[in-house]
């Protein structure tokens, strides 16, 4: 009994250390950069070698990239999850499940190299919004598909059996019964995937981003600025005079991700409370 208490105490201490470490990182980064927030910081283009101006094109580029990525990833991710849950009890399903699981552990730089080779070079999309979106949609696919599968599988079989007893076809059961029941969990998974996509740097550097832009993208084949790549560029290529912009951008990005994850966890909490 005493041994169990000791083990429980150790795990509790580790949990507290992890939790407070994460909280400290968020607070430190946010407070270190929030002092640079201003109307000009959010509405102007960067200028004078990143020592003045703002991050407006990086904000818009990040929004464009996120929206286009989700437009591509959501249908494929949800349909893949449905297939694995309802039709995946065969060899094809097991192979697909293995592939999805393997994709979850691939480093982001590998996705970037893949997107560069396939979308930017082979397909001729070059450094562009669409090339980056296609690359990031592959990254988001495992999160959305795996969560959709788990959400669908967690629905009691009695709901399926009741629908079948009323004469519903399998497709009707999926789209009229199971999907509405799993909707909140799927939305949570999409938001978590969006948070990950928003913070990616390496794949975007290789496929979509430019370090400095004096105009907004006019089509999906134009390059963009994004918040993570802007932070990387300022921190690596410019001097101390520009570091304030990197800190302010990092603070804003952390706040955005925190808001997205807070919404996702709130939805999940409501589902668990039902």
Is residue 135 within 8 A of residue 203, CB to CB? The reply is yes
pLDDT higher for 154 or 74? 74
Q: Find tokens 């400095």 and name the residue.
A: 212
**How confident is the model over 145-171, as a mean pLDDT?**
87
Q: How far is CA 268 from the centre of its chain?
A: 17
Is residue 264 within 8 A of residue 191, CB to CB? The reply is yes
pLDDT higher for 161 or 4? 161
pLDDT greater than 80 at residue 261: yes
Query: For the chain, what is the mean pLDDT?
Result: 90
Of the candidate ranges 48-62, 112-126, 154-168, the one whose mean pLDDT is the lowest: 154-168
Distance set, CA 60 to CA 2, 20, 67, 223, 248 (Å)? 57, 32, 11, 12, 16
What local confidence, expressed as pLDDT, does residue 37 receive? Answer: 95
**How confident is the model over 76-95, as a mean pLDDT?**
90
What local confidence, expressed as pLDDT, does residue 165 receive? Answer: 86
Closest CA to 61 of 140, 133, 149, 137: 133
The DSSP secondary structure of 233-246, one letter per residue, reads: HHHHHS-GGGHHHH
Closest CA to 70 of 179, 192, 152, 183: 192
Domains in the chain (CATH in brackets) are: 35-273 (1.10.3720.10)
Distance set, CA 171 to CA 86, 88, 140, 163 (Å)? 10, 15, 25, 11
Q: Give the whole-angstrom CA distance, residue 2 versus residue 12.
A: 15
The number of residues making up the chain comes to: 274
pTM comes to 0.90
Burial 138-159 (b: 16+ CB within 10 A, else e): bbbbbbbbbbbbbbbeebeeee
**How confident is the model over 84-95, as a mean pLDDT?**
88
Q: What is the pLDDT of residues 183-227, one digit of tens each?
A: 888 998 899 889 888 989 999 999 999 988 878 899 999 999 999
H or E stretch covering 68: helix 56-86
């Amino acid at each position: 009994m005493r041994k169990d208490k000791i083990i429980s105490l150790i795990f509790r201490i580790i949990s507290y250390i992890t939790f407070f470490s994460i909280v400290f990182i968020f607070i430190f980064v946010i407070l270190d950069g929030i002092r640079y927030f201003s109307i000009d910081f959010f509405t102007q283009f960067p200028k004078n070698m990143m020592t003045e101006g703002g991050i407006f094109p990086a904000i818009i580029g990040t929004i464009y990239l996120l929206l286009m990525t989700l437009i591509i990833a959501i249908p494929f991710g949800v349909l893949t999850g449905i297939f694995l849950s309802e039709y995946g009890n065969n060899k094809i399903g097991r192979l697909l499940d293995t592939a999805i699981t393997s994709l979850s552990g691939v480093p982001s730089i590998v996705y970037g190299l893949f997107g560069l080779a396939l979308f930017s070079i082979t397909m001729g999309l070059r450094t562009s919004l669409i090339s980056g979106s296609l690359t990031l949609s592959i990254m988001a696919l495992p999160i959305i598909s795996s969560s959709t599968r788990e959400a669908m599988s967690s629905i009691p079989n009695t709901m399926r059996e009741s629908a079948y007893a009323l004469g519903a076809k399998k497709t009707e059961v999926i789209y009229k019964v199971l999907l509405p029941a799993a909707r909140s969990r799927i939305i949570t998974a999409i938001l978590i995937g969006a948070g990950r996509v928003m913070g990616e740097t390496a794949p975007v550097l290789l496929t979509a981003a430019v370090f400095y832009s004096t105009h907004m993208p006019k089509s999906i084949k134009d390059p963009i600025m994004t918040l993570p790549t802007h932070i990387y560029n300022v921190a690596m290529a410019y001097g101390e005079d520009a570091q304030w912009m990197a800190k302010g951008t990092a603070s804003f990005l952390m706040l955005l991700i925190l808001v997205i994850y807070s919404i996702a966890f709130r939805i999940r909490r409501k589902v668990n409370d039902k």
